[in-house]
Structure 1
Amino acid sequence: MVHPFFDSPKPRIFAHRGFVPEDLARDGILENTRAAFANALAAGADYLESDCHVTRDGTVVLFHDEDLSRTLDDPRAVSEVEYGELERLMAVRGGLLSLEAALTEFPGARWNLDLKIDGTVEPAGALIGQIAADRVLLASFSDERRTRGLAAASRVGATTLVVTSASQGVMVRILLAVALRSRALQARAFQGIDALQIPERQGPIRVLSQRLIEAAHRHGVEVHVWTVNSPGRMRELVRMGIDGIVTDRTDLAVAALR
């Protein structure tokens, strides 16, 4: 039986931090905002991708960076700012979204959410389990954060298991198992994983390969590649057999793949 999260056409289009067209960017609208996610859905994205941080007063918000320097020219960390103040700062930038607001204001949207710091794990997992277990993929580079987040979702009585992608450590084990061509090691490495969300390369290391795609599919695991903004490369990756594209350019992806 297909999990509701994956009940959409392939290749899946993930809007990386939402989608901000050039005209809105010129007006100062930022990624990871209410406006960016609304625009991504309007442009035809299947999934919304974002990251979770937590404010000083404990509200989980959708924000990529640990601090405000790149987006708001403010050196403070997100965790040093009260939610109300951050909401005011972001009001003219497209609108700050708490995780709870994101899951409720976009009730039909499917979310790919990365737990960036330890403070997000329990509150984010609980919100996902209570509101949207059937339409969230929970991710983290840290396997500890990922597994704790899944456990938090289960503790609140989620009737659907939350799907998840491989953390950095799990990904290393998968790549080793694929390189060794060991079916036994692969079976163990892929256990409990629903998707690989990977770049084509990590520095000098080639991550994506035909052999990896085939191994993932043997174990019922999808392969999503980030961050791809060239329509030509999107089409090449789809021909290789990948299941999803994570992109900054929802508009180009929809035109190329739909």
Structure 2
Amino acid sequence: MAYLLNTVPGPLEGQVLAFAHRGADPERENTMGAFRRAVELGFRYLEIDVRTAACGTLVVFHDEILDRVTDGTGKLREKTWEQLSRLRVGVKGRAGDDDARLVRFEDLLTTWDDVHFNVDLKDAQAVEEFVRIVEEHQAHDRVLVASFNDARRRRVTRRLTRRMLTSAGLASTAAFVLLGPLGLMRAMSGRIAAVDCLQVPVRQGPIRIITPGFLRRCHRAGLQVHVWVVDDAQEMHRLIDLGVDGLMTDDAEALAEVMRARSVWPQR
């Protein structure tokens, strides 16, 4: 599996993959500045979100509404890329900060040839443009498609000319967590969900998801487990020792330091 470089054989065989969640820079999440900083720190896996602008452009952005993190207002899907390109993410008034600009998915994908992207498709309209971009740039081995919506993920895989790795959506993940102890993990991963990894929090409400038994069942079924979002260094070490396959963080420096302490950094 070319995307998962920690599989056997692979250049990162046996290592935990380090993902910069939205660029791991909360002050300017999902911006070129955040992604560039993460890559400079040694990250080669970036977790991103994409949404569709009014003109059909695929924009790297998490929220449906612009207000929380930008100096704009309203719904992203109602703005053209020309309008969105003028906005800045982060502290109000930083109009001259080009690193705080929004970025198009295609521009981000083509900035580096050795960076992998974990792409969460946030709207149904993103499917066609996402497939077009991946196909045009033959980026199947550098992109993993994720979505809380399992049907959306399946729509992508049906349209691709080459296989791309995927992670489970909300319904599939719930099935793995709840039915896995009944011995159905392998059947679900192969025939029902058709996914390559699960991306989950340590716990969901009162339910602790990341346990030795859960990891053991996933690995027996050939599934990697990536955990989000972990910012505490002690917790990072604990999860790595437990056997997770990937960690997503909003604190790039903390995860880089943990990986450096384990002599597996930078992750190239």
Query: Once the two structures are superposed, what CA deviation does each residue of 1:86-136 show, in whole Å capped at 9, x if it has no partner?
Result: 111137362221111111112221000001111111211221233211101
Equivalent residue, structure 2, for 1:224:
226
Equivalent residue, structure 2, for 1:82:
80
Mapped to 1, the partners of 2:199 and 2:24 lie a distance apart of: 19
SS in 1 for 2:119: strand
Mapped to 2, the partners of 1:201 and 1:148 lie a distance apart of: 29
Question: Is the contact made by 1:178 and 1:211 (CA closer than 8 Å) also made in structure 2?
Answer: no
Alignment gaps of 5+ in structure 2: 7-11, 89-94, 261-268
Structure 1 residue 104 and structure 2 residue 110: aligned? yes
Mapped to 1, the partners of 2:115 and 2:101 lie a distance apart of: 18
| 1:1-258 map, 5 Å | 3-8=1-6, 9=12, 10-20=15-25, 25=27, 30-90=28-88, 92=97, 94-131=100-137, 132-152=139-159, 154=160, 157-158=161-162, 161-180=163-182, 182=183, 185-191=184-190, 192-258=194-260
Question: Which amino acid counterpart does residue 250 of structure 2 have in structure 1?
Answer: D
- Taking a change above 3 Å as real, the CA distance of residues 52 and 186 of structure 1, as seen in their structure-2 partners, is same
Mapped to 1, the partners of 2:201 and 2:48 lie a distance apart of: 16
Question: Is the contact made by 2:3 and 2:142 (CA closer than 8 Å) also made in structure 1?
Answer: yes
Question: Which amino acid counterpart does residue 188 of structure 1 have in structure 2?
Answer: A
Mapped to 2, the partners of 1:232 and 1:77 lie a distance apart of: 38
Question: Is the contact made by 1:18 and 1:37 (CA closer than 8 Å) also made in structure 2?
Answer: yes
Question: Is the contact made by 1:15 and 1:45 (CA closer than 8 Å) also made in structure 2?
Answer: yes
Q: CA deviation at 1:73?
A: 4.7
Return the structure number with greater helix share.
Answer: 1
Runs of 4+ in 1 over 4 A off after TM superposition: none
Mapped to 2, the partners of 1:46 and 1:108 lie a distance apart of: 7
Question: Is the contact made by 2:54 and 2:79 (CA closer than 8 Å) also made in structure 1?
Answer: yes
Q: CA deviation at 1:7?
A: 1.6
Query: Once the two structures are superposed, what CA deviation does each residue of 1:2-39 show, in whole Å capped at 9, x if it has no partner?
Result: x2211253111000000338xxx4xxxx1101111000
Mapped to 2, the partners of 1:47 and 1:115 lie a distance apart of: 17
TM-score by structure 2 length?
0.85
CA RMSD of aligned residues (A): 1.6
Mapped to 1, the partners of 2:167 and 2:131 lie a distance apart of: 15
TM-score by structure 1 length?
0.89
Question: Is the contact made by 2:186 and 2:220 (CA closer than 8 Å) also made in structure 1?
Answer: no
SS in 2 for 1:89: coil
Query: Once the two structures are superposed, what CA deviation does each residue of 1:41-100 show, in whole Å capped at 9, x if it has no partner?
Result: 111113000101010101001001011010125331110111011111137362221111
Mapped to 1, the partners of 2:152 and 2:59 lie a distance apart of: 16
- Taking a change above 3 Å as real, the CA distance of residues 245 and 220 of structure 1, as seen in their structure-2 partners, is same
Query: Which sits farther off after the overlay, 93-102 or 196-205?
Result: 93-102
Percent of matched pairs sharing the same residue: 36
